[in-house]
Amino acid sequence: MPSEWDYIAWLRLRTPRYPRVILGPGDDCAVLEPPQRPLLVTTDMLMDGIDFVVAEVGPRRAGRKAMAANLSDIAAMAAVPVAAVVSVALPQRDGQLAEELYLGLRDIADRFHVPIVGGDTNSWPEKLVISVTVLGEATKHGVVRRDGAQVGDWLFVTGALGGSILGHHLDFTPRIQEALRLQECVAVHAMLDISDGLAADLNHICHESGCGAVLVAEAIPIAPAAIELSRTSHKPPLQHALEDGEDFELLFAVSPEDGAQLLHEPPFPGLYKIGECVSSGLWLEDSTGQRQPLAPRGWVHEFV
């Protein structure tokens, strides 16, 4: 870990708000108090031109997205984020870009009290690359996986979907607090954060859990951005809600009893029941009760 990044991080580390940090940057590794419960690790690399266009959105929003996407993976398993490390390849020796990027990373990390405990800052003649790794700790309830959905479970999402490319993919809030709150209220059988798109990610849960699912078309919350985008894309807003990626809302399955309780006393606003788990297949049910096969289309990772 080179020193130039360390100096900035180190200053911000010297506060009493991060009791877990024993040693921050300045040595070869950061040192943290050992977690009491299982340790989670997630990593995501974001590249200029693929995950954002830095010339359009600026380094601050790019940095924010890189941190938020990783925090969202911690939320997906209903854990508590503990610390982050950040490696970057800067497109030039641009101190201001580095500072803006750092501020963006901090914008969202600070909100969840996650210290950036180390990093590696490089420059090169190519485009900006940001790689974030976030460590988390399980709660006393354990982690939520993708493979626990059961036939009959109700399916929920934590917010409106679609059209994230218009801005939400940069400015979303990882659903950490919502995930932790849910786990306190109910037994979450399976969960993930929607990054590939609702249909594709639902397929992941079904595949891992060995079940199918039916979504109720009218129950799917459609983001205003999906409607706006449909004007130029000439695709229906529902299709955007089903297939656009990077909503970063939680998709989860609970028992009908727990589901009814969530509807009766929502622990937070923006909770939508969108369907149920069935024995097999992916289905979309229209307003007449007719079921059509639902293609698990979504945002495809570049390297497939």
C-alpha to C-alpha distance for 25 and 299, rounded to whole angstroms? 37
Residue among 143 and 213 whose Cβ is closer to a copy of itself? 143
**Contacts for 66 with CB less than 8 Å, ≥ 6 apart:** 44, 46, 51, 86, 104, 105, 130, 131, 132
CA atoms within 13 A on the CB side of 151: 7
Residue among 84 and 238 whose Cβ is closer to a copy of itself? 84
Residue among 157 and 226 whose Cβ is closer to a copy of itself? 157
User: Phi and psi at residue 189, in whole multiples of 5°?
Assistant: -80, -40
Residue among 100 and 193 whose Cβ is closer to a copy of itself? 193
Residue among 73 and 285 whose Cβ is closer to a copy of itself? 73
The nearest distance, CB 272 to a copy of itself, in angstroms, is 21
Q: What is the DSSP string of 65-133?
A: HHHHHHHHHHHHTT-EEEEEEEEEEESSS-HHHHHHHHHHHHHHHHHTT--EEEEEEEE-SS--EEEEE
**Contacts for 16 with CB less than 8 Å, ≥ 6 apart:** none
User: Phi and psi at residue 208, in whole multiples of 5°?
Assistant: -70, -35
**Contacts for 96 with CB less than 8 Å, ≥ 6 apart:** none
Partners of 52 in the β-ladder? 48
Residue among 46 and 214 whose Cβ is closer to a copy of itself? 46
- Residue 301, H or E segment: none
C-alpha to C-alpha distance for 102 and 108, rounded to whole angstroms? 11
Residue among 41 and 260 whose Cβ is closer to a copy of itself? 41
